[in-house]
Every structure is written in C-alpha cells, then in structure tokens.
Structure 1
Amino acid sequence: MTIPDFQSLLLPVLKASKSGEVRIGDVIALLADDLRLTEEERSTLLPSGVQGMFANRVHWAKFYLIKAGLVEATRRGHFQITEEGRKVLSNSPDKITIEYLKRFPVFREFRAETSSGKSADGGDGVLETSEDILTPDETIRQAHRQIESELAASLLLRVRSGTPAFFEKVVVNLLFAMGYGGSGADIARSLVGKSGDGGIDGVIDQDPLGLDRVYIQAKRYADGNVVGAGAIRDFFGSLDRFKASKGLFVTTSSFSPAAKETTDLLSKRIVLVDGQQLARLMIRHEVGCRVAETLHLKKEDEDFFE
C-alpha cells in the first residue's frame, strides 16, 4: 500500500492514545505494523533526507490533534488523550479530517491565528490535492520543487537564446563551479576559442595541476532537436585525435536512445549531460542564478522544556 496522508492518520493516532500516555516513537511503529507498511515504505525519507515520511506524517497528525484539544503533550516525546478526545472516540467516527477538527473552537482559533499566511489561491496554507492534504513540510517542499522547475525552464531558455560561444562559456563556468580546473582566471583559457576546433569546444583540467584533462563538446540545440549517435561517434573521433581518455558532451536538448547506447559501447569515458540535467546543475551550483531569499525552518527545542 502507499503511505497514508496525515489526515488518514488522525483517527489511528487518537486511538493509539486511548489507554493513557504513549510515546510517539511507539505509536509510529505500532501504526506501521497495523498498516502493514513494507520496509521500503517505512524507510522512505522526506526530500530533506532527515526524517522518514511516515514518521513525519504521524507527528503532524499528533500536532493537529493537540491543536484541536483531543490529545495533550505530557513530557518529551509523549502524549495522552484528553476528555474531549475520549468523547470523540465514543461517537465512533469513521474518519477524522481537518474539516472534522474545525468543529472544535480551540482548533478554529488556531486556524484563525495562522491564516494570515494565506496561499495564492486564498486557501489557509494547507495544500489540497485530488488525493490528500499534504503536511506543511510537504507543502513547502512541493512549492520549492515547483519554483526550481520554473527556474530551470527559464535558465534553459536563456542559454538556448544565447550564442554558441556563450553556451560554451556557461558549460566551462559550471565545471569550475563544480570544482574542476584551477581558478576563475583559467575560464577563458579553458575555451578552445574557435568553433569546431577538432570537434572540441573546451578543455578543462580535472585537477589543479593539470595532470588529467576533460575535453568538452557543447551543442546548443533547440528543444526537440535531439543529439544522435553520429554526433557521439564524431566526438569520440575528436577525443582520439587529441589522445584524450575522457570527454563531456553537453547539449541544451536531449540525446537519442541510439546516442546513449553508442556512448555505453565506446572505449573512452564520455559523460552525457542533457538540457534538463544542465539546468539542475546550474541551479545547484548557482551558475546563472543566485539565492534570492533564505527561509529558516525552526522547531521546538525539547531539551529546553525538560
């Protein structure tokens, strides 16, 4: 089964506390067993790589139950059901949702306090999809992915609209940002300077001493104009003439299946980078873009309250 959204976990988390104080870690393990989650589902991490997705959703379910007054925190990592929570269970609800929690005044007050950060569509900050409602953590990360996706498309468009020489410079700048070569002063020297000079557009040192070099081919193609196997074979021939053992082929479009297969069969190491990967690398290493704003996500310091 798929990992349940946090709304589906509201009722199970409440039921898990019906006998008294419980530890959140034990509840996570209990619910994972009850739901028969696989090891893969239990170990699936959030994009941050810090916390498991299922554990995160259980924590958020507990958080909203606390805000509705159905459970209360007792000590670090522990909580217990309240009298209001017992009343809810006595009515045997089929499911508890955010909409269900809105019947409790304390929860409505909490939502009113946080609704100042309304979303662009006038919502209350919880992102609704056709399948579930995401946790705030997931909402933030989904929005971040969307922003980066739009930035990648914009960067790729700008690179495609530039000259071939500009594209070659972008590739070399990216490699320097990734730690290849020497200093920024070596960027101009790394460009061959003459389009089609032996089929090589740039040469960059793989180490500061220049003991090993990477030869670059950069093809500024429009979207849909894929790089075929012939271009890969030509690049291989150019590497052979320079007695080079490795090369980097970068394009603003994509590579055909035949081109990828040809690369795997050749005796020299050739790495292919298509337009989508190029844009992602530019964002990661801040080439052609920069940090506009930094948001700090904070959480309670449990040690402080002990």
Structure 2
Amino acid sequence: MAIPKYYEMYKSFLTVLLDGKVHTIKEEKQQVIKDFRLSENEIAELLPSGKQTVFDNRIGWCRTYLKKAGLIVSPCRGQYQITDAGHRTYLENNIIDDTVLKQFPSFVEFAFGDRKEYQKENDAPVTDETPQETMDRVYKELNQSLANDLLTEISEMNPYRFEVLVVELLVKMGYGRLQYENRVTRKSGDEGIDGIVTADKLGFDSIYIQAKRFKDNSVGRPDIQKFVGALAGQGAQKGIFITSSTFTKEAVAFVGRNLNYKIVLIDGMKLAELMIEYELGVSRQYTYEVKRLDSDYFSEE
C-alpha cells in the first residue's frame, strides 16, 4: 500500500490509545504500519530533501494536529494519552480527517491562524501534504525551473566555454586541477579529451573529461566508444562524459557493460542540478531557516 496521508493516520493513531493508558510513539508507528501494511521500502522512503522519511514526517504531523485539536495529550516527551474528546470523536466517526478536526476551535486556530475563510465541514481536507512536504515540493519545483533556465543559457554557450564550465564545476565538487595543465586541453589535437582533473586536490589519479554541448542531439554509443578509445590512448581507465543534452539508451547500456573502464555519464539535467548544488552560475536569492524544538534543553537530568 502507499504511505497514508497524515490525516489518514488519525484513526489508527487513536486506536492504540483507546485503553486510556499512556503509549509511546513507537507503539503508534507500529499500529499505523500494521493497519496500512507498509513495507520496509515504504517506511524508508525519504522526502525530496532526503533529511527525513515521509512516514516519520506524516505521523509527526498527525500527532501534532491531534494534539492541537485536543484529542490527545502528552504527559511526557514521546508518550501520548487520549482525552475524553478524543475517545468521543473516535466512537462517533468512521472516518477522522481534517473535516472532523475543524469542529475544534483550537485546531482551526492552529491550522488557519487569523484567516476567516476556511473550508466547510463537508469539504475535503485542506491539503494532502504536511507543511514539510509542501516546502520540499516547492523547493524542488523552484530548482527545476532554475535548472531549465541554466540549460537554456548553456545551450547558447560557446563549446569551448562549455568545456571550461565543466572543469570549473568538477573543481568546485572537490576534484583537483592538474597544475601543469590549463583548465582544458587545447582546442585542437586534444585526441578526444576536453579536460583533465584529479580525484582529489592532492593530485592522485587523473580523470579525463569529455564535454559535448548539444542543443538537440543526444549523445549516442559511437560517441562513448570514441571516448573509450581516447582513454585507452592515454593509458587511462576513468572518465567523465558530460553533455548539455541527453544520452541514448544504447550509450547508457554500453557504459554499463564496459567493465574495463569506469565512465560516469552526466546529462544536461544532472549537470544543472550539480551547478545549483555547488553554486556555479547561480546566486542565492533568499535564505529561510527552519528550526525545530531542542528537546535536550527541556530534559531533566
């Protein structure tokens, strides 16, 4: 089954607490996993930010909203108990979602703040996403838009300038630049090699680069075979092939089968993502800090 939305967990979360006793968040998680038959892969699935699992994020907001509605209380950290309102709500509703929670003023105030207009009781939940999921999604969409803008600029770039960009990016990523080489090899007579970097800044293990700035054409298997031949001519076995476009399936398959050479393929979208991550050709516009509760500060020794 798919990972349930945060509001789909409400009923399952309250089920554990019906005996009136205090239960841990671990017990709550186990109940939700059991009710929705979640697999290990689903439990381990990460948010786009990669900093938290989708499951933990959603059950965390499930807990927060139930608490804000007054359906549960937390006698101590990580432990929860149902209230009279929570017990009554559980028995009176086959389905518990945000529509049900909107009957509680404390939930409405938390979820909507000073907004006077919000969905009526018979409307669907406000959103399928938790606040963190919304932030991650919007962040991803902004980066995708920026990546497309970068690719537009790259497609108009001089091919030699593109080779320079590629080497500059690799250096920003932590690779070293050979001190006795220019940033890129000579425009002519480069024997199929567009640049050389080392595996680290100390100069160990040379890595050879091929950079192709294509606007529409994809890089095919013949291009990769030529690059392998160029590596062989240098007595090398490691290379990075970077293009502003895409690789054909045949090219990708050829690299996968060629065990004698370690070649990494980076297409245009991956290139743009790396430029954003390592801040090459982009600048910061806004910075938002998202803080969390420091539980250690409030713990008693």
Q: Work out whether the TM-score is over 0.5.
A: yes
* CA distance 1:304–1:271, change in 2 (3 Å): closer
- Within 2, Cα distance between the matches of 1:123 and 1:219? 53
Matched-pair contact (CA < 8 Å) for 2:16–2:27: no
Q: What is the 5 A alignment of 1:68-217?
A: 68-91=69-92, 93-113=93-113, 133-182=128-177, 189-195=182-188, 197-217=190-210
Matched-pair contact (CA < 8 Å) for 1:214–1:246: yes
- Aligned residue number for residue 15 of structure 1: 15
- Within 2, Cα distance between the matches of 1:188 and 1:293? 38
Matched-pair contact (CA < 8 Å) for 1:200–1:238: yes
Q: Deviations over 1:227-263 (max 9, x none)?
A: 1122222222323333333222111111112222333
- Please say which of residues 227-236 and 195-204 is displaced more in the overlay: 195-204
| Paired amino acid for 1:136 | P
1:247 aligns with 2:242: no
Q: What runs of 5+ residues in structure 1 fail to find an aligned partner?
A: 117-121
- Within 2, Cα distance between the matches of 1:14 and 1:272? 49
SS of the equivalent of 2:210 reads strand
Q: What runs of 5+ residues in structure 2 fail to find an aligned partner?
A: none
| Paired amino acid for 1:87 | R
Q: Deviations over 1:169-225 (max 9, x none)?
A: 110001101111149xx59812113156322222223344545322221111013x1
RMSD of aligned residue pairs (Cα, Å): 2.8
- Within 2, Cα distance between the matches of 1:163 and 1:123? 53
SS of the equivalent of 1:190 reads coil
| Equivalent residue in structure 2 for 1:275, among 259, 268, 274 | 268
Matched-pair contact (CA < 8 Å) for 2:177–2:183: no
Report the number of matched residues: 292
* CA distance 1:71–1:227, change in 2 (3 Å): same
- Aligned residue number for residue 238 of structure 1: 230
- Aligned residue number for residue 262 of structure 1: 254
Matched-pair contact (CA < 8 Å) for 1:164–1:220: yes
Matched-pair contact (CA < 8 Å) for 2:3–2:55: yes
Q: How far apart are 1:48 and its partner, in Å?
A: 4.5
1:295 aligns with 2:280: no
1:61 aligns with 2:62: yes
Q: Deviations over 1:33-86 (max 9, x none)?
A: 233222222333434445432232222111111111222222111222222222
Q: Deviations over 1:117-143 (max 9, x none)?
A: xxxxx999xxxx99x711111111111
- Aligned residue number for residue 119 of structure 1: none
Q: How far apart are 1:114 and its partner, in Å?
A: 6.8
* CA distance 1:52–1:293, change in 2 (3 Å): same
SS of the equivalent of 1:270 reads strand
- Within 2, Cα distance between the matches of 1:171 and 1:181? 13
TM-score of the two chains, using structure 1 as the length reference: 0.84
- Within 2, Cα distance between the matches of 1:80 and 1:211? 59
Q: Percent identity?
A: 38
- Please say which of residues 80-89 and 166-175 is displaced more in the overlay: 80-89
Q: How far apart are 1:10 and its partner, in Å?
A: 1.2
SS of the equivalent of 1:145 reads helix
| Paired amino acid for 2:129 | L
